[in-house]
């Protein structure tokens, strides 16, 4: 019974949102605001269930890990942004997270991205076959794309030609991304229509 009502609610809300395709209307606005409200409520319970209870309250009560008062303090002063007079305190916790993020970012970018990606571009150009041709395209494509985004020097001569070829590679990449984006959007629509036809109208299966 609960499921049937749920499916009808879900179908109704789905149609409310689709009504926007005809034109903006109160049904759409209702569904949109309901979505934002419910999601915000969900965040609150989420923060309790997956952060505050398992990472702070329980360890402090059950394991006497009182050192956790420090991150709890930093977390709470983050919320001082709500009160203009003491909002400067929130900068301390922001500084903590930004500093950590930046520190991790430095090593992560070098070890996990830049080095392996440069290494993977150094592909062999020996032999006269299709693989060598592909490897050549990879090296050439990476370099010319980098040249295209190199703004520190005026693009003249070799740089200008490099960047012109770079834009060709970039256009192919954007075209591929566009094709994939169409694919993704259509998949989402298929998912919703499938729900309406199968779970709600029971036309399928």
Partner 1 sequence: MNFFLKLSKIDRRFIYLFIALVVVLPLILKPKFPVVVSKPVQDVYDYIEKLPEGSNVLISIDYDAASMPEQQPFLEALLRQLFKNKLKPILIVQWQLGAPLGTMGLEKIAKEMGAEYGKDYINLGYRPGYVAQMVGIGKEIRDFFKVDYKNIPLDSFPMMKNVHNYNDIALLVGLEAGATYLAWIEYAGGRFKQKIALALNAVSAPDAYYFYQSGQIVGLVGGMKGAAEYEVLVDKPDLAVAGMASQSYSHLVIILFIILGNIAYFIEKGMKNKEGGK
Partner 2 sequence: MLKGKGIPIFITFLTGMIMIISFFIPHKPFGDIEKISLTWYSIIAGFTMLLGVDSLIGMHFRKLKRKDENWFFSLVLIIGFTATVVVGIIETVRFGTAFDERSYFTYIYNYFIVPLQSTMFSLLAFFIASAAYRAFRARNFDATLLLITAIIVMLGRVPLGEQISPYLPKFTEWIMQVPQMAAKRGIGLGISLGALGVSIRIILGIERSYLS
Please give the size of the binding site for partner 1, defined by CB under 8 A.
Answer: 49
Name which of partner 1, partner 2, none residue 204 binds, using a CB cut-off of 5 to 8 Å depending on partner kind.
partner 1
Whether 121 and 142 have beta carbons less than 8 Å apart is answered as: yes
d(CA 185, CA 30): 24
Residue 155 or residue 169: which is nearer to partner 2 going by CB? Answer: 169
DSSP tag of 152: S
Say if residue 166 is exposed, middle or buried (CB neighbours under 10 Å; 0-12, 13-18, 19+). buried
Annotate each residue in 30-49 with x if it binds partner 1 (CB under 8 A) or - if it does not, as one string: ---------x--xx--x--x
Residue in 24, 58, 66, 118 binding partner 2, rule: CB under 8 A: 118
CA 75, 81, 87, 90 torsion-angle sign: positive
66 in contact with partner 2 (CB under 8 A)? no
10 in contact with partner 1 (CB under 8 A)? no
Residue in 79, 109, 146, 171 binding partner 1, rule: CB under 8 A: 109
Within 8 A by CB and 6+ apart from 138, the residues are 121, 123
Binding residues among 145-204 for partner 1 as defined by CB under 8 A: 173, 176-177, 180-184, 186-194, 197, 203-204
Annotate each residue in 119-148 with x if it binds partner 1 (CB under 8 A) or - if it does not, as one string: xx-----------------x----------
Residue in 186, 197, 201, 204 binding partner 2, rule: CB under 8 A: 186
**Look-up of token digits 């949109």:** 32
**Look-up of token digits 């402090």:** 60
Helix residue ranges per DSSP H, the chain: 2-18, 26-47, 58-63, 69-78, 90-107, 115-121, 130-148, 157-195
DSSP tag of 155: -
Residue 140 or residue 159: which is nearer to partner 1 going by CB? Answer: 140
Instruction: Bin 63: left if φ > 0, else alpha if -120 < ψ < 50, else beta.
Output: alpha
- What's the closest the beta carbon of residue 157 comes to partner 2, in angstroms? 20
Residue in 58, 87, 98, 164 binding partner 1, rule: CB under 8 A: 58
188 in contact with partner 2 (CB under 8 A)? yes
Name which of partner 1, partner 2, none residue 22 binds, using a CB cut-off of 5 to 8 Å depending on partner kind.
partner 1
Q: Which stretch binds partner 1 (CB under 8 A): 83-91, 104-112, 124-132, 154-162?
A: 104-112
């Amino acid at each position: 019974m609960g499921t049937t009502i749920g499916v009808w609610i879900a179908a109704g809300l789905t149609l409310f949102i689709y009504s926007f395709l005809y034109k903006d209307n109160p049904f759409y606005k209702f569904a949109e605001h309901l979505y934002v409200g419910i999601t915000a409520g969900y965040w609150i319970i989420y923060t309790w269930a997956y952060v505050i209870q398992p990472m702070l309250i329980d360890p402090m009560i059950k394991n006497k890990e009182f050192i956790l008062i420090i991150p709890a303090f930093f977390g709470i002063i983050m919320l001082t942004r709500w009160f203009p007079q003491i909002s400067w305190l929130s900068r301390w916790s922001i500084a903590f997270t930004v500093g950590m993020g930046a520190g991790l970012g430095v090593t992560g970018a070098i070890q996990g991205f830049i080095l392996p990606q440069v290494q993977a571009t150094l592909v062999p150009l020996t032999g006269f076959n299709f693989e060598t041709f592909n490897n050549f395209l990879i090296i050439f494509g990476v370099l010319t794309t980098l040249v295209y985004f190199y703004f520190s020097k005026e693009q003249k001569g070799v740089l200008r030609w490099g960047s012109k070829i770079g834009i060709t590679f970039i256009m192919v990449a954007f075209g591929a991304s566009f094709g994939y984006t169409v694919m993704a959007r259509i998949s989402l629509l298929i998912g919703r229509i499938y729900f309406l036809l199968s779970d709600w109208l029971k036309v399928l299966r």
